[in-house]
Amino acid sequence: MTIRHLFKTSLTGLSTNRSRSFLTILGIVIGITAIMLVVSLGAGAQNLILGEVQGLGTNTIAIIPGREPTGPTDVSALYSDSLKDKDLTALQNKANVPGLASIMPVVIGASSASYDSNVYQVSIFGATDLMASIFSLVPAEGQFFDQSDVLSFSSVVVIGADVATHLFDTQDPLNQNIKIKGRNFRVVAVLPKSGGGSLFNFDGMVIMPYSTAQTYVTGQKYFSRLITQAVNDSAVPVTADDIRLTLEESHNITDPTKDDFTVQTQQDLANRLGTITSALTWFLVAVASIALFVGGVGIMNIMLVSVTERTREIGLRKALGAKDRDILSQFLLEAVLLTVIGGVIGIFLGSSLAFIVAFALSHFLAINWTFIFPWSGAILGISVSAIIGLVFGGYPANQASKKSPIEALRYE
């Protein structure tokens, strides 16, 4: 039997009962659709997160209090007050860290802000004027506070778009006073709407000098973060090592495994986040693949029914000279065609749904989300579909090929 005739015969066999053929591949369609959707959204999320991280600058180095957890029982290591003024002073010494261009202490907290009768829960971010350049923040109106405000503990704040809307409605918030922890803070700048696609929700944030935040809001005498910048990208590895050595000396640590802080470069963060998002994506793919197994069992069941229904056809074909391998090839090809067609439909539906989700996120939620067609998911979908057809169609095809032509012709 020629390959062309084999394909024609298989397609004829499938088209005789189109409704059953469609229902048979439904499990495959659902499984491949889920895989395509998950892989595409996972790639989009990874692209968004890594874009945000890289947007902070490749020469940025973050110093986080507490050592990096090595297991589930080590989570308490994250909560630490290990970064203090003496560490800031030591790092600002050029003799200790020659490659350090700038350093910004960060104090993070939460509180409620009020104006007249309006109250809004906000995130407090204490920093210096370097925050504007590090995070590329350009106020919609007003000007960011400067170093003199940090040194004088000034009660000035920069507020996000959501804070301005909830507290002031249609009023101009510039130079108005908002109240936090019973103290008045003058609004010196308002940030534009940034949407939900940032690592930090600047829309719901109140930014003030870190000295002011420590003294009047959080009351903490330590830093939540120290964000530094190396003089250039090539100096990042050496600068990170110098920071680590300086802090170990400041904390009297001789064993690096006992560090009560973590030095993290942007590349480190990007690699870790990339690994996490990839692992989560493929875990969800594995879960979605259960539908493919269910679909494969359905195909085996329907193919066995088809073999039984077409027993006389098999007997007639064998009586006319068809060999066992011809019958085997025909039914096996029918199973593969069913699964591949289901895979193609699933790829189309999955990518279409992923595009719709990406469009909705970017246009309605103002998230900088881009649609990414998952070529790896498409190749995986087609490959897995064909393999399922071969595996789950093999047994019914083998049963068909073994039928005796005489007994098959007598079958009613």
What would the pLDDT profile of 26-82 be if each residue is shown by its tens digit?
Answer: 777 888 888 888 888 888 877 776 666 555 667 888 888 887 655 444 444 445 678
Checking if the pLDDT of 159 tops 60, the result is yes
Q: What is the full DSSP assignment across 33-74?
A: HHHHHHHHHHHHHHHHHHHHHHHT-TTEEEEEESPPP-SGGG
> What single letter denotes the amino acid at residue 185?
F
Rounded Cα–Cα distance for residues 197 and 60 (Å): 20
Rounded Cα–Cα distance for residues 216 and 182 (Å): 9
Pick the more confident residue, 284 or 109: 109
Q: In the structure, what pLDDT confidence band is assigned to residue 358 with cuts at 50, 70 and 90? A: confident
Is 171 in a helix, a strand, or coil?
Answer: coil
Lowest mean pLDDT among 3-7, 75-79, 161-165: 75-79
Pick the more confident residue, 352 or 5: 352
Residue 102's DSSP bridge partners are: 229
394-408 average pLDDT score: 61
Maximum average pLDDT range among 212-221, 362-371, 403-412? 212-221
Contact 134, 200 (CB under 8 A): no
Q: What is the pTM of this model?
A: 0.62
In degrees and rounded to multiples of 5, residue 189 shows phi and psi of -160, 155
H/E run at residue 255: none
Lowest mean pLDDT among 88-92, 265-269, 315-319, 406-410: 406-410
Checking if the pLDDT of 342 tops 90, the result is no
Helices (H), 56-179: 85-92, 130-134, 147-151, 161-168
Would you tell me how many other CB atoms lie within 10 Å of the CB of residue 90?
17
From the list 18, 24, 10, 27, the residue with the least C-alpha distance to 303 is: 24
Q: In the structure, what pLDDT confidence band is assigned to residue 410 with cuts at 50, 70 and 90? A: low
H helices, E strands: number in the chain: 14, 10
Q: In the structure, what pLDDT confidence band is assigned to residue 3 with cuts at 50, 70 and 90? A: low
Rounded Cα–Cα distance for residues 184 and 226 (Å): 27
Lowest mean pLDDT among 214-223, 254-263, 402-411: 402-411
222-251 average pLDDT score: 89
> How many CA atoms does the CB half-sphere of 292 hold within 13 Å?
27
* Average model confidence (pLDDT) across the chain: 79
Q: In the structure, what pLDDT confidence band is assigned to residue 375 with cuts at 50, 70 and 90? A: confident
State how far the alpha carbon of 110 is from the alpha carbons of 35, 71, 183, 268, 359, in Å. 39, 28, 15, 28, 33
Is 169 in a helix, a strand, or coil?
Answer: coil
Contact 12, 317 (CB under 8 A): no
222-261 core/surface letters (b: 16 or more CB in 10 A; e: else)? bbbbbbbbbeeeebbeebbebbbebbbebbebeeeeebbb
195-217 average pLDDT score: 83
Pairing of strands 225-230, 141-142: unpaired
DSSP for residue 25 = T
Would you tell me how many other CB atoms lie within 10 Å of the CB of residue 139?
16
- Determine the straight-line distance between the first and last CA of the chain, rounded to whole angstroms: 27
Checking if the pLDDT of 10 tops 50, the result is yes
Is 269 in a helix, a strand, or coil?
Answer: helix
Rounded Cα–Cα distance for residues 82 and 101 (Å): 23
Maximum average pLDDT range among 145-149, 168-172, 292-296? 145-149
Is 293 in a helix, a strand, or coil?
Answer: helix
Structure tokens at 251: 């904390």
Rounded Cα–Cα distance for residues 237 and 376 (Å): 33
Contact 48, 197 (CB under 8 A): yes
99-121 average pLDDT score: 92
367-382 average pLDDT score: 78
